[in-house]
Structure 1
Amino acid sequence: MTAAAECGDLVTACLSLISQHTMKSDETSSEIGQRLWSRDVSLWVGEADEQAAIANRLGWLDAPVWFRSQINGLVSWGDEVRAAGFDRAVVLGMGGSSLAAEVLARIFGQGPGGLALTVLDNTHPDAVRAVLESGHLNSTLFLVASKSGTTLEANVFLATFFEALRQKIGADAGKHFVVITDAETPLARRAADEGFRHCFINPGDIGGRYSALTFFGMVPAALLGLDLSSLCDGAETALADAHLFEAGEDNSALNLGLFLGHWAGRGRDKLSVLLSPALTPLSVWIEQLIAESTGKRGVGIVPVADARVPLDAYGTDRLFVAVGLASDADLTQRCQAIKAAGHPVHYHSLTSTESLVGEFFRWEFATAVAGSLLGINPFDEPDVPVSKNTTTALLQGQLETDTTPWVTLIDEAGIRVDGRRAGSADTGALGLVTERFSDRSTTG
């Protein structure tokens, strides 16, 4: 079951949708893909300065080729790390800078001779304390991941663990730290000034959430002891497939993008991602890529953690994408049942988990295509600065906190809403939710 088999009239409908934004009326779906490969920034709406910024965010299109060129150096570096006595690695980062590492660690685990690797992307004191009190600081390598080099959480982590190691081993503390960042960032300068073990300079034309096939994903893979050449094979296969434009050929990345953009543009904007059990950790990476890339200008696709609910419980705002291992008959049957119930389903089969890395590229390509159809820029993040500023203020104690106690406002018909009573500082959105749930509970 392939994406091509599911397309039908979908391409024609997509062409109608995209023509409202960026496409010539006589353009074919193949030409959409070809324009993307030619880096035609007019595929996406935006003013001249916005499109200029997009032009500097398309380096991910070459990431599989770039990845191949880095393998020998990464393998040698990983051997040096192990020879230095490190047996554990902790990735310190947030969002796109750390999610690929988490996916690889959870799906593949520790390879032969590899380091045990965990990701710290939570500033809760208990999470930080667990690393500090692990008893393994002397043999732990900390990988600080931040494209901008200014990510607050990553720098707070760095300061915390650097000081802990400085107190234990003195001037050699820097040898326990590795940095992944762009050129000439504050983090890169600190790595040089304080004698960090290594500083990996990532390509500057690749945004954080599109960086899985760069140092942000592949340095952790090297530390895990994974077969980088085999991983790259999967990425190169996805790259080649995304160049298929002849009739009858299955360009699954392009077709996935057309599928997402078409249905989201028609109100089916809640995306359930169905995965074979062995691939489940991939969902967190897909969720961040889709939500942050498309959620802007009042539109977007909302990834939904999918539970096995009765088919008649799904609304008409739902669409489904499945990525399954070829051996997973249960997932195939579930997709058939969902389709029979009248919901759109896109299914893609992988021969093995080794093909997983190709999914990074396929979803990135598809997200770029979907963004074009939806009339948004999938490479910016207009709300991220607001979130970062709020986080900074919270961590510095600059925001007032409401001490009004939380109580249960509604607990009926299987619905529970906790919050503050009306009149507290937090009544806006919660008040609206409470009102709507109250209406539902009284009307049945």
Structure 2
Amino acid sequence: MKKHLNLDSFHAIDFVDKQEIENIQTDITKARKMLEYRNGPGSEFTGWLNFPDKFDKDELDQIIEAAKKIRKQSKILIVIGIGGSYLGAKAAIEMLSPYFTKKRRLEVIFAGHNMSAQYLSELTDYLQGKDFSINVISKSGMTTEPAIAFRVLKKLIEKKYGHEAKNRIYVTTDPKKGELRNIAIKEGYETFVIPSDIGGRYSVLTAAGLLPIAAAGFNIKQIIRGAKASRRAYKKMGIWENDAHLY
């Protein structure tokens, strides 16, 4: 059964005058055209606008195969990232998961989003005796919090699995440059791409979000199809015809 997200503004409309809403149509149209034509501030990071329409099929298949491998060999996936690099996946997994049910076969734990030594200490204790994999997400690899977490957890996974540890570490980073990409090439880690024109907070439909979501057991092909359908549905400019504009 297909499920769609719908905006129910019935009760909110009572608190806002209809004319007030219609008065912002000009601003909405201006902002929308600025995005579509990519001629406003930050236009170099608007690759997310039509990204689902041009998502590479081979890359999507690679993500799905990596997720299958992670689920097969691990009970836990540690996702290392900060800000949008991990929050998109975290929000999507929570949104798609029932509130009350048995745990998924694979547990997804997030790290590298704080400076807490206690958090890392308790995490390393929790991982003792458990099979796990790591997905580190960073465009540069230089951000302090993820870098520290990766250093600690890399040491732990190498101690546990030896040479085979490299087959349990997945890197999502810039397609061409950055310290993390250099490390991945040197160590032989499987890599995935965050396009250069997509910022972290808009990266949930790139490998940054899709690999953890797929590893958690969700159908990312359906998610991409839904994103494409939404892109078509929200092309209308009229504020009353477009839930995104009305919201």
Find the partner of 2:159 among 157, 160, 167: 167
Q: Which residue of the partner structure matches residue 122 of structure 1? A: 114
- Alignment match, 1:106: 94
Deviation for aligned residue 1:240: 1.9
How many residue pairs align between the two structures?
A: 231
SS of 2:50's equivalent in the other structure is helix
The CA deviation at 1:205 is: 0.1
Deviation at 1:235, TM superposition (A): 2.1
Q: Deviations over 1:6-49 (max 9, x none)?
A: 6722355436xxxxxxxxxxx574454234212222xxxxxxxx
Q: Structure 1: 5+ residue runs without aligned partners? A: 16-26, 42-50, 257-444
Task: Give 5+ residue unaligned stretches, structure 2.
Answer: 1-7
Instruction: Name the CA distance, whole Å, in 2 between partners of 1:101 and 1:194.
Output: 25
State the partner residue of 1:33: 32
Residue in 2 that maps onto 1:252: 243
Identity of aligned residues (%): 23
- Residues 221/114 of structure 1: CA separation in 2 closer, same or farther (3 Å cut): farther
CA–CA distance in 1 between the matches of 2:45 and 2:17?
29
AA aligned to 2:152 is T
> What is the alpha-carbon root mean square deviation over aligned residues?
2.9
SS of the aligned residue for 2:133 comes to strand
Give CA deviations for 1:342-394 in whole Å, capped at 9, x if unaligned.
Answer: xxxxxxxxxxxxxxxxxxxxxxxxxxxxxxxxxxxxxxxxxxxxxxxxxxxxx
Cα distance in 2 between the residues matched to 1:244 and 1:114: 41
- Equivalent AA in structure 1 for residue 36 of structure 2: W
Asked if 2 retains the 8 angstrom alpha-carbon contact of 1:60 and 1:211, the reply is: yes
Instruction: Classify 1:195/1:245 alpha carbon distance in 2 versus 1 (closer, same or farther; 3 Å).
Output: same
Letter in 1 for 2:76: R
Matched ranges for 1:155-194 at <5 A: 155-183=147-175, 184-194=177-187
Answer yes or no: is the 8 Å Cα contact 1:56–1:205 preserved in 2: yes
The change in CA–CA distance for 1:10 and 1:147 in structure 2 (over 3 A counts) is farther
- 8 Å contact from structure 2 (residues 172, 194) kept in 1: yes
Distance (whole Å) between structure 2 residues aligned to residue 113 and residue 29 of structure 1: 41
Q: Does 1:92 align with 2:85?
A: no
Alpha-carbon distance change, 166 to 73 in structure 1, aligned in 2, over 3 angstroms? closer
Structure 1 residues 115 and 124, CA, compared in 2 at 3 Å: closer, same or farther?
Answer: same
- CA distance 1:87–1:7, shift in 2 (3 Å): farther
SS at the partner of 1:245? coil
Q: Normalising to structure 2: TM-score of the pair? A: 0.80
Q: Which has the higher contact order (CA 8 A, sep 6+)?
A: 2
Question: Does the alignment pair 1:221 with 2:213?
Answer: yes
Q: Relative to structure 2, which stretch is displaced further, 27-36 or 166-175?
A: 27-36
Matches of 2:128 and 2:134 in 1, distance apart?
Answer: 12
Contact 1:179-1:200 within 8 A present in 2 as well:
yes
- The equivalent of 1:294 in structure 2 is none
Give the Cα separation in 2 of the matches to 1:28 and 1:151. Answer: 36
Deviations 1:173-213 (A, max 9, x none): 222211111121100110111122x1112111011111122
Give the Cα separation in 2 of the matches to 1:74 and 1:112: 22
Question: How far off its partner does 1:159 sit?
Answer: 0.8
Contact 2:76 2:130 in 1 (8 A): no
SS of residue in 1 equivalent to 2:148: helix
Name the counterpart of 1:241.
Answer: 233
State the alpha-carbon separation in 1 of the partners of residues 143 and 120 from structure 2.
Answer: 17
Distance 1:233 1:68 in 2: 13
Match among 25, 48, 72 for residue 61 of structure 2: 72
Rg bigger for which structure? 1
Question: 1:307: which partner in 2?
Answer: none
Pairwise mapping of residues 410-425 of structure 1 onto structure 2 (< 5 A)? none
SS of equivalent to 2:126: coil
Aligned amino acid, residue 82 of structure 2: M
